[in-house]
């Protein structure tokens, strides 16, 4: 039996025994995923974990990620009018884009995505900026929550005073 003739662009993969064992250089990538806003609102940690697992299945190493924007879309995508933008900074091999695109098509949480190879020159600064902004936002959110709780407690105390002082 004769084997079918392979196209030229596939021949080197079959005939080169070192091709499958040769190390592939890891590149830096920035990916922005547009997530289903309704599913994200119901379970934010679960959706974020799903996205991280999706990337780790492809062999990517996530350096930093965050929820960026939850807003109205310019046009409906799969019948949804709102979406959450989720930027992710990660490292992966040269085949990362192809494998991530395949995993995203299988996911029902991701509406759209874009992955861009990023030059290494500014990589550390970008990751540090994302991480620093996450850390800076956390105390602000906690302070706002504490302030709102204090105002609510104060208003409740005043209402209770006014109610108990009336004969």
Beta-bridge mates of residue 113: 33
Kindly tell me the burial class for residue 62, based on how many C-beta atoms sit within 10 Å of its own C-beta (0-12, 13-18, 19 or more). middle
When comparing pLDDT for 8 and 132, which is higher? Answer: 132
φ/ψ of residue 87, rounded to 5: -75, 140
What is residue 50's predicted lDDT score, i.e. its pLDDT? 93
φ/ψ of residue 35, rounded to 5: -100, 155
Q: Using alpha carbons only, what angle is made at residue 106 by residues 101 and 58, rounded to the nearest 5 degrees? A: 50
Instruction: Write out pLDDT tens, residues 61-94.
Output: 998 888 988 889 999 998 999 999 999 989 888 7
What is residue 39's predicted lDDT score, i.e. its pLDDT? 92
Instruction: Write out pLDDT tens, residues 107-135.
Output: 999 999 999 888 877 778 878 887 776 66
């Amino acid at each position: 039996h004769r084997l079918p003739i392979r196209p030229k662009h596939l021949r080197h993969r079959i005939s080169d025994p070192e091709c499958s064992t040769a190390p592939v250089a890891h590149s830096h990538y920035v990916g922005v995923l547009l997530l289903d806003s309704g599913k994200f609102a119901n379970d934010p940690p679960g959706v974020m974990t799903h996205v991280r697992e999706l990337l780790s299945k492809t062999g990517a190493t996530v350096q930093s990620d965050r929820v960026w924007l939850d807003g109205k879309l310019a046009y409906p995508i799969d019948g949804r009018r709102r979406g959450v933008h989720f930027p992710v900074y990660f490292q992966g091999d040269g085949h990362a884009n192809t494998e991530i695109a395949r995993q995203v098509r299988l996911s029902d949480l991701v509406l759209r995505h874009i992955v861009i190879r990023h030059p290494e020159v500014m990589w550390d600064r970008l990751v540090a900026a994302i991480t620093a902004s996450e850390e800076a936002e956390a105390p602000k959110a906690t302070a706002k929550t504490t302030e709102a709780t204090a105002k609510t407690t104060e208003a409740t105390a005043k209402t209770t005073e006014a109610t108990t002082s009336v004969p």
